[in-house]
Structure 1
Amino acid sequence: MDFPLLASTFVTVFLAELGDKTQLATVAISGTSNRPLAVFIGSSSALVLASLIGAIAGGSMASVVPADLLQLLASAGFLLIGIRLLWPMLSSSKGLKSAEED
């Protein structure tokens, strides 16, 4: 077992999952139920299955596409997502500046 890889994966996924919509959905479901153990088992199973699918898909892709290219594509994807999320704010601030200049 590669413990440094295990630890870094755990920390990365744990931090990525804090406060995301999955956690919020789990809180909402748990709040409407008096069975928190069932909610925990259901949400944990879903996360494990989604992670398994991602690990299998990543392993399969790595055998076909070089790891450097996969990292570049993932980085570009995250960059595009970030730009799309920030675009409304950036375009509205430009609109405010041009309105102030008039």
Structure 2
Amino acid sequence: MDWHLLGLSFITVFLAELGDKSQLAAIALSGANAKFPRAVFLGTIAALILASFLGVIVGEGTAQILPAQYAKAIAAAGFAIMAVRLLWFSAEESESIE
């Protein structure tokens, strides 16, 4: 096993997930269901594991079909499109509010 890659993956996902909406949802659920914090913990862990598993499977399949350079270019284009759409619609919404 590549321990460096394991550690890098752990740190990256841990920092990316820290304080995101899924963590806030877990806080809200555990607050609303204070009698069953273990159930909330196990449910959120299972969801994160499943989401990570699906990401790894899709990533592995994509890596077998596309060269890494193309996959990175597609991802970069997708993020750029999302950024432009966010900026565009944010500007339109702020103008319509005023």
TM-score normalised to structure 1 length: 0.79
Structure 2 vs 1, CA of residues 83 and 18 (structure 1 numbering), >3 Å: closer, same or farther?
farther
Q: Does 1:36 align with 2:37?
A: yes
Question: TM-score when scaled to structure 2?
Answer: 0.82
* Gaps in structure 2 of 5+ consecutive residues: none
Partner of 1:61: 62
Identical amino acids, percent of aligned pairs: 49
Aligned: 1:81 with 2:87: no
Report which stretch shifted further, 23-32 or 73-82: 73-82
- Residue identity opposite 2:48 in structure 1: L
The CA deviation string for residues 4-41 of structure 1, in whole angstroms up to 9 with x for no partner, is 21111112111211222211111111110121111111
Question: Using the alignment, how far apart are the partners of 1:83 and 1:28 within structure 2?
Answer: 32
Aligned length: 94
In structure 2, the partner of 1:51 is 52
Equivalent residue, structure 2, for 1:6: 6
After the TM superposition, list the runs of 4 or more consecutive aligned residues in structure 1 that deviate by more than 6 angstroms. none
Larger radius of gyration: 1
* Distance in 2, Cα, partners of 1:74 & 1:55: 15
User: Residue deviations 1:40-67, cap 9 Å, x none?
Assistant: 1100111001110110111011111111
Residue identity opposite 2:85 in structure 1? R
Distance 1:92 1:53, change over 3 A: closer
